[in-house]
Chain A
């Protein structure tokens, strides 16, 4: 049973560019959350998707957007990249019935130059 898979694992962009990160949830999970983890810090909640809708959003600007597909996979898009967007982006999946019990992928490491 595959766990949460994310792609790409590493990528480098320049300021002003746009990036799309992808996530496939653990089999059977219906909810996907995205977190940003800066070096040496804990993950920060970006948003959560359930039933293809954004259900809750953290304190991130509109440059951060997402999508959930009918097969529960998800994308995170970041527009107009800033140097400060450099971080590890984590996808976490869960069952809607057990919120908080998250299964995390290994993350996508984004470097903005």
Chain B
């Protein structure tokens, strides 16, 4: 079946550092890929998405590129801020029309001033 694997956390960075959170997936066909973020005390929010190979999703300075050849969707940001501290989830959705998402286990990011 489909699965999503994220790098283990927590990830601790200083403000303005470069961020990469690795995500790989296994799926039949061509899934859509997502990054969701959970800020402290809040519900999960969609951060960005990509629906086909080589698509780049971007939002709030974050980017991720759908790499079919490496089955990856790594999250990057050039300069993190303290306000980016949160738990980040990578997720995949199969090609059916339903909204069933397969989530990774989440990666906690802590940014220190």
Residues of chain B lying within 8 A (CB to CB) of residue A42:
4, 89, 91, 103-106
A89 beta carbon closer than 8 Å to chain B: no
Q: How far is the CA of A103 from the CA of B13 in the complex (A)?
A: 28
Closest chain-B Cβ to A47's Cβ sits at a distance in Å of: 9
Contact between chains at A106 and B49 (CB < 8 Å):
no
Residues of chain B lying within 8 A (CB to CB) of residue A101:
46, 49
Comparing B14-22, B37-45, B63-71, B76-84, the segment that makes contact with chain A is: B37-45
B98 beta carbon closer than 8 Å to chain A: yes
A61 beta carbon closer than 8 Å to chain B: no
The answer to whether A58 and B99 touch (CB under 8 A), given A105-B43, A106-B42, is no
Chain B: which residue is nearest A33 at the CB level? B99
The answer to whether A41 and B106 touch (CB under 8 A), given A90-B44, A106-B42, is yes
B60 beta carbon closer than 8 Å to chain A: no
B7 beta carbon closer than 8 Å to chain A: no
Residues of chain B lying within 8 A (CB to CB) of residue A104:
36, 43-45
Chain B: which residue is nearest A46 at the CB level? B100
